[in-house]
A and B are shown apart, each in its own frame.
Chain A
């Protein structure tokens, strides 16, 4: 056999797999792994390790994964990126070792770790070397868990993430999926048909849209790979490099300007629908909203934003979707988002307009109580500045879950449009006087209900609650932005730890 020169080896590595696989990828709108990295990093600055992995095999350059260190927005990050032109991005012994090593580098440098996934899974022929051992694929997930909360971990899913590989996204802080190409599944449709007899296509079973809107395994649905990469670059600007530091404060911007103010858009009728995005737009710096899980559990909006340049995490009930009622999925969504922000010193702002948690047989069977407990657990444990804003109603356990006064928010502020109660007036009158109303002559009922409703509203009047020191301030809707700016500045030096223990027994 003729020996290859250094240049020939380098060319092989740079080229990746056979031309036909490049063509196949291009036809699907997929970029070559090295082009993905070019777009991800600033000015193509990239230090690669293990490029020569498995070079002697002849057809497995870099062993199907590129690992290294580059810069995003001037800040160092570590990356692993599957090359799907090489055996469909599958994992061999050296692939796994390279991924483990770059994770260890990220741990030592305390910098964010990005996973650019496009892989068919394990090479079953190599299983003894890459599956069960101390430095087998299991170690990748162990490392991810250990790194969680220490450094940001981001997954960009460009293709399949199959079987065990599907746990890479599961342990990341955020998962961006490219519509049409990205998928996550434990068993392929072919396996599902063989083993359980189900006939289903990949998109329905584990496609990007399904995971971003139904299962909640995906956080962001991107139309193209470029959009996914740009999202990751932008997302990172809200985060510090690691848990030891605070996120950078950007230049302050005014909110987008509108003809109608918050005063104009918040409906007086507590039961009427209202679009919470319109409130958020009037409070945050223009163009700063970076939403997470936009398509999943829409009754609760979660997203990163800036107020006066300061990164914040916003949780807001959305009355326009499912009445803003909290469900099992919205509680899960909230719990993960709160953990994310708290881990990286991003203050939390709760915007409440919530009739409570959903009731009924269906949600009880789904375990709404234990899911709700997750949200309340995470919110209680969060020690970042925590602001509770009562926009309109905050009823029942909805008040608790949205960082109500008992959960140690730094302040609970009510807009003049707020209403805090165990339940809304109509439900309360019915609960207390149902028998009495039943026994009454029909023509007297309306007057009685009207009188009791008026009394009830007086009882839960927002100024009465302020007078009793239940809430810390009452402000007009148009003062909200200014109040948040001042309070975020005031709470900057907050430094508390929640309690002393090994760890809580988290509800799941």
Chain B
């Protein structure tokens, strides 16, 4: 499970269920402190579930994307 490193808002979701992702690939961009915060996959795999929607407020450690 990829978790949020800091509090912010989901700006762009870049993957959908079933997508194959590489290690280090950007899966989402958060917006926080007026900055674009890329969220990367820690390891390669397939997107099982996207937990959040664009525009959602998320707190630190919130679940974002499940990769398996």
* In the complex, B46 has a CB within 8 A of chain A: no
Q: How far is the CA of A362 from the CA of B60 in the complex (A)?
A: 8
A-side interface residues, number (CB < 8 Å)? 20
Residue of B nearest to A325 (CB): B33
* In the complex, A271 has a CB within 8 A of chain B: yes
A325 neighbours in B (Cβ, 8 Å) = 6, 32-33, 35
* In the complex, B36 has a CB within 8 A of chain A: yes
The answer to whether B36 touches A424 (Cβ under 8 A) is: no
Q: How far is the CB of A36 from chain B (nearest CB, A)?
A: 32
Q: How far is the CA of A247 from the CA of B64 in the complex (A)?
A: 47
The answer to whether B37 touches A362 (Cβ under 8 A) is: no
The answer to whether B59 touches A323 (Cβ under 8 A) is: no
Task: Say which residue of B35, B38, B60 sits within 8 Å of A355 (CB atoms).
Answer: B35
The answer to whether B36 touches A271 (Cβ under 8 A) is: yes
* In the complex, A16 has a CB within 8 A of chain B: no
Q: Contacts A322-B5, A325-B6, A362-B60 hold; do A273 and B38 have CB atoms under 8 A apart?
A: yes
A504 neighbours in B (Cβ, 8 Å) = none
B33 neighbours in A (Cβ, 8 Å) = 323, 325, 355-356, 358-359
Q: How far is the CA of A358 from the CA of B5 in the complex (A)?
A: 12
Q: Contacts A358-B6, A362-B60 hold; do A322 and B37 have CB atoms under 8 A apart?
A: yes
B35 neighbours in A (Cβ, 8 Å) = 271, 273, 319, 323-325, 355
B6 neighbours in A (Cβ, 8 Å) = 322-323, 325, 327, 358
**Chain B residues numbered 30-50 whose CB sits less than 8 Å from any CB in chain A:** 32-38
What does the 1/0 interface line of B1-15 toward A look like (CB < 8 Å)?
A: 000011100000000
Q: How far is the CA of A271 from the CA of B36 in the complex (A)?
A: 6
The answer to whether A271 touches B7 (Cβ under 8 A) is: no
**Chain A residues numbered 289-343 whose CB sits less than 8 Å from any CB in chain B:** 319-325, 327
* In the complex, A186 has a CB within 8 A of chain B: no
**Chain A residues numbered 19-44 whose CB sits less than 8 Å from any CB in chain B:** none
What does the 1/0 interface line of A256-274 toward B look like (CB < 8 Å)?
A: 0000000000000001110
B-side interface residues, number (CB < 8 Å)? 12
Q: How far is the CB of A394 from chain B (nearest CB, A)?
A: 14
Q: How far is the CA of A52 from the CA of B34 in the complex (A)?
A: 65
Q: How far is the CA of A187 from the CA of B59 in the complex (A)?
A: 32
* In the complex, A459 has a CB within 8 A of chain B: no
The answer to whether B34 touches A426 (Cβ under 8 A) is: yes
Residue of A nearest to B30 (CB): A323
What does the 1/0 interface line of A233-272 toward B look like (CB < 8 Å)?
A: 0000000000000000000000000000000000000011
Q: How far is the CB of B7 from chain A (nearest CB, A)?
A: 5
* In the complex, A360 has a CB within 8 A of chain B: yes
* In the complex, A427 has a CB within 8 A of chain B: yes
Q: How far is the CA of A327 from the CA of B33 in the complex (A)?
A: 12
Residue of B nearest to A426 (CB): B34
**Chain A residues numbered 415-448 whose CB sits less than 8 Å from any CB in chain B:** 424, 426-427
A356 neighbours in B (Cβ, 8 Å) = 33
Q: How far is the CA of A91 from the CA of B35 in the complex (A)?
A: 51
Other than the known A319-B35, A362-B60, what 7 A-B pairs have Cβ atoms closer than 8 Å?
A273-B35, A322-B5, A323-B35, A325-B33, A327-B6, A358-B33, A427-B34
Q: Which 5 A-B pairs have the closest CB atoms?
A: A323-B35, A355-B33, A323-B37, A325-B33, A322-B6
Please name 12 pairs of A and B residues whose Cβ atoms are closer than 8 Å in the assembled complex, sorted by A.
Answer: A319-B35, A320-B38, A322-B5, A322-B32, A323-B32, A324-B35, A325-B35, A355-B33, A358-B6, A358-B33, A362-B59, A362-B60
Binding site for B on A (CB under 8 A): 271-273, 319-325, 327, 355-356, 358-360, 362, 424, 426-427
